[in-house]
Chain A
Amino acid sequence: MLKILVNGEPLDTSAKTLGDLCIALGYGDAKIATALNGVFVAAAVRSATALSDGDKVEVVAPRQGG
């Protein structure tokens, strides 16, 4: 199990890649974008992006803005 942070919350996960993580968390085909340790990770390469202990993952979606 990896100990990571997802949107600032601690999470223990068996997911080995960012793509697996998004599926495991249930994002499905939701309109989201991701970053790993502050660096943008495009949807096309999430499944090829390995996770490591201590990683910080951001998952964002459209929201109201000014």
Chain B
Amino acid sequence: MLTLYGESLPSRLLLGTALYPSPDILRRSVEASGSSLVTVSLRRESAREKSGQGFWTLIRELGVRVLPNTAGCRTAREAITTAQMAREVFDTPWIKLEVIANDDTLQPDVFGLVEAAQALAADGFKVFPYTTEDLSVAERLMAAGCEVLMPWGSPIGAGRGLMNPYALQMIRAYFPGVPLIIDAGLGAPSHAARAMEMGFDAVLLNTAIAKAGDPVTMADAFAKAVVAGRLAFEAGLMPERDMAQPSTPVAGTPFFDIGHAS
């Protein structure tokens, strides 16, 4: 069972709620994914349209826990204020902390991230930092009070999977007891399965499902991939070899000629 900040979650697939073709497809995709934690955001609300109110009703009807984000924030100060507003609106101390360095890569600004994480954790927030695979940044985030880390697989929306598996393997090995969630960049169920096979505790994705030809079916595919990957991790993968080794017994091979043995 996935446990984050003392709360148990039945699914290791965490879902974003943006970019879906319609609210109904979003609802059916969340249901098909089996996810019990979805990310949400805060945006400027027009008093005339009040478009956020209908979205909030939809999320409440889904009965899932929400993880508000600070998407789009460029400084620690913006992220802190956004987190404070999110805590009040969504009535949760959980916050997916994003401090973005630049628009082209949407890479985390790890300096602002650590600064904001320190302030928010001291203020009682349960911080889920969207970070890189950098070990020293991860250590700073842990020292700041983060009990969960969310390294990227590849840039947000890129769909390229795990671009730096070596470094991700390092961070997994370095923090064996810390919940690690691959956040961003997954494009295919096989990417999610690989992350889970490597021992990551969960994956968080959005675009791969929302922009699929059939998001509801893709949500089901990701759900199965996450379960398969986790089971494989728990079962223990066989070690890789450089050379072939026959699986069928050699002893008793018909027509075996000792002269051909090498």
Number of A residues, CB within 8 Å of B: 25
C-alpha gap A27/B43 in the complex (Å): 15
A-B Cβ contacts below 8 A, count: 109
List the B residue with the shortest CB-CB distance to A34: B85
List the A residue with the shortest CB-CB distance to B96: A65
List the B residue with the shortest CB-CB distance to A36: B81
Q: Does B233 contact A (CB under 8 A)?
A: no
Instruction: List A contacts of B42 (CB < 8 A).
Output: 33, 60-63
Q: Does A48 contact B (CB under 8 A)?
A: no
Flag if A38 contacts B81 (CB, 8 Å).
yes
Interface of B, helix, strand, loop or mixed by DSSP: mixed
Flag if B53 contacts A66 (CB, 8 Å).
no
Known contacts A61-B42, A62-B42, A64-B18; A35 and B81 CB within 8 A of each other: yes
Flag if B40 contacts A60 (CB, 8 Å).
no
Flag if A25 contacts B44 (CB, 8 Å).
no
6 closest A-B pairs by CB = A65-B41, A61-B52, A66-B16, A33-B85, A61-B45, A66-B206
Chain A residues proximal to chain B, CB less than 8 Å = 7-8, 25-27, 30-35, 38-40, 42-43, 58-66
